[in-house]
Structures are given as structure tokens and as C-alpha cells.
Amino acid sequence: MKKRIAAVIMILSIAAALGGCAAMEDETVNAIAMEAISSVLSVVAQLAVAGLSVGLTWCVTRIAKTEKFKSISEVLTQLSTTVEDTVGELQQTVVDGLKAAASDGKLTPEEVSALNAKLLDLVKAKMAQPAIDLLSAAQIDINALIIGMAESAIKKMKSSAVPVGELIVSE
């Protein structure tokens, strides 16, 4: 496509140059030749403007996509931090009490479901609505993402938990 446009522009330019040469007869300018030259140059100018418009539109679109991906990355980082903080808060304020009250020290499936619902509500309340809207526009399942991040945060908490006896021995 670009080659065809370049070829048309080249042909029109040659035609304009030849028309300009033919227009000069005994130092008088033929009115028809000048009209032809003017028309050809007008078409070439319009093609150049159209080409620049297409090129600039493409550049702006690429920049917008890059900025959108940067924004999504920033929102995901913010969401991850919010989920980790909220999991820690729930661990301290709710989970420890539920585990202590249970005879086997474990949460029931109903308690886990209730905690997941509470986690979703708290995280969404802490996140800015434009951030949630951006993730929704990117067709990301926000609930699944939050639950997945929470599972990862819980796994980190469990793997980094150091028994109290080890803290005393290491000092």
C-alpha cells in the first residue's frame, strides 16, 4: 500500500514537472497547463496530509496502548499490596480468634467462604473506583484475581512464619 501511494505521488510529480516545462512557450504561460499543475499539486498536498494524519493516528494509538498497560500494571501492584495488607488485617482481627475458638484449630468451609466474601468487600472498599473500572475494562475477573492474590499472600505468611522458640534461640 505504501509503495502504491509513493508511486502515485511520483507519477503526479513527474506530470507536474513536465506540464510546467510544456507551459512555457516564448516566455508566456499556458493557462491550461498552469491549471493542470495546480490541480496535481493540490492532489499531492492532500495525499501528503492524509499520510501524515494516518501516521500520527497510528503513533497516538500506540502511545495510548502503552500507557494503558502501564496503568494496568500500576493498578495490579496497588491491588496486590492492598490484598496482602487486608489478609494480614483479617488474620489478626478475625482468623486467629476463629481458629482459637475451634476445637481442632481449623476453619470450617463456611467460615472460609465468609472470610473470602469479607476479603472481597474490604479490598474493593479500599481500592479506588477508577482502578476497579480499569481492571473491568481490561476484562479481568477482579474477584478471582483478589482471591488468587489472597491465597498467595496466605501461603507467603505461612512459609515465612517463624516459631517463637526459634526467635528466642537465635537471639
Domain ranges of the chain: 2-161
- The residue assigned the cell 481442632 is 104
**Averaged pLDDT score across all residues of the chain:** 76
pLDDT of residue 168: 39
**Spans in the chain with pLDDT lower than 70:** 1-2, 6, 12-13, 15-30, 33, 64-70, 161-171
pTM higher than 0.75 for the full model? no
Predicted pLDDT of residue 47: 79
pLDDT of residue 39: 81
Please give the pLDDT value at position 66: 65
